[in-house]
Amino acid sequence: MAVTTFSFLAFFTTLLLSSPVISTVHFNYPAIFNFGDSNSDTGCVIAAGIGGLLDPPYGQTYFHEPSGRFSDGRLIIDFLSHAMDKRFLNAYLESVGVPNFRRGANFAAAGSTILPPTQYAFCPFSFGNQVAQFFSFKARVLQLLGGKLDKFVPREDYFRKGLYTFDIGQNDLAGAFYSKTEDQVIASIPTILQEFENGTKKLYDQGARNFWIHNTGPLGCLPQNLFVFGKEKSDKHGCLRPHNHAARVFNLQLLALCRKLQHEFADARITYVDIFSIKFDLISNFSRYGFEHPTTACCGYGGPPLNYDSRISCGQTKVLNGTTVTAKGCDDFTKYVSWDGIHYTEAANHHVWSQIPTGKYSYPLFSEKI
């Protein structure tokens, strides 16, 4: 079984990396509709009042204050918006100020899973719920068109011509390791992806035609997982083998699903983006890209090698073992891959984004048209 899995992994990796490299991709889409977890949440969970507010130094690099993003600055979705000459995506649940959804909406929420939430889930906005929110959003927009709010909502044809982006699944795998063995986690992957397939088909039925699907990153390299599960099963890069193996198997099956959907949706355009390879290359060859700390949290508590403690989150002050301590930010955010032990710094997100338009990590090439 393992030999077969890795044979297919090697085949698809070769397939992806052998694609011709392109120098520039033009993202000519009128709107973005994003679905995901904290890797692309631009304020949903904070707007919903789940888990309290983010404290400084969140947001300090670019926004100079917490922005609802789980990073010191911008996320990959922000760099995509910039490449499309669009303003930052408003979170769907954002109600303060004057949210502008003309160029799309973001349904991603920190803590979200693909599978329906359980009683132990941090966030109720699973993938199915996000898809349902999109349906409500679209229905309301169509009611408003032709009125005085036209400049704040998408045109009707934007729902067909827009880009539907997905970055979700990390929490399904990472959370499962707390109660399941590696084999059990891997055995659950088809069920997870069946739920993802159901949601994407519903979106297709609603007119979505341009799908941009991220795979999941190297979970075994996150300081949080290294802190909880230790390093007894780590590889030469200091990452947990079981977690990364599960992520690779998930990604292999996700790629197969993307190919299946492309065959079924002949008039759609489905692009699979190998985020895992970009992030793992960054962590494995961090110094080549100007980083100094691949698996140490920039904002955290505990010092080297992880600077992470699950009892205290970035920016918080608590009493631990009778002593008042604060999880502070590091001196130079640009030298760290991990921001808070779970999420990436803006510098790391920017590096990941910079690799995507090359086409080297996409299948088929993101610039190809149906």
Find the helix packing angle between 275-284 and 346-355, rounded to 10°. Answer: 120
Catalytic residue status for 367: no
At 202, the amino acid letter reads: K
Question: DSSP class of residue 49?
Answer: T
**Matching residue, tokens 């799908």:** 211
Closest to 326 (Cα-Cα) out of 347, 350, 309: 309
Q: Is 313 a catalytic residue?
A: no
Distance in angstroms (rounded) separating the CA atoms of residues 299 and 236: 24
* Catalytic-role residue among 38, 40, 81, 234: 38
Residues 6+ apart with CB under 8 A from 95: 47
Q: How far apart are CA 42 and CA 45, in angstroms?
A: 9
| Helix spans in the chain (H) | 2-17, 44-48, 76-83, 127-144, 158-161, 170-176, 182-187, 189-205, 223-229, 241-264, 275-284, 346-355
Q: Of the residues 214, 245, 293, 343, which is catalytic?
A: 343
Q: How far apart are CA 196 and CA 128, in angstroms?
A: 8
User: Is 38 a known active-site residue?
Assistant: yes
Pairing, β 362-363 against β 317-320: unpaired
Cβ-based neighbours of 151, under 8 Å, separated by 6 or more: 102
Catalytic choice (172, 274, 340, 351): 340
Residue type, 21: V
Task: Using alpha carbons only, give the angle 128, 133, 123 rounded to the nearest 5 degrees.
Answer: 60
Distance in angstroms (rounded) separating the CA atoms of residues 138 and 159: 8
Q: What are phi and psi of 279, to 5 degrees?
A: -70, -40
In terms of phi and psi (left: phi > 0; alpha: psi -120 to 50; beta: otherwise), the region of 146 is: left
| Contact status, residue 33 vs residue 84, Cβ threshold 8 Å | no
Residue 364, exposed/middle/buried by CB under 10 A (0-12, 13-18, 19+)? middle
Catalytic residues: 38, 340, 343
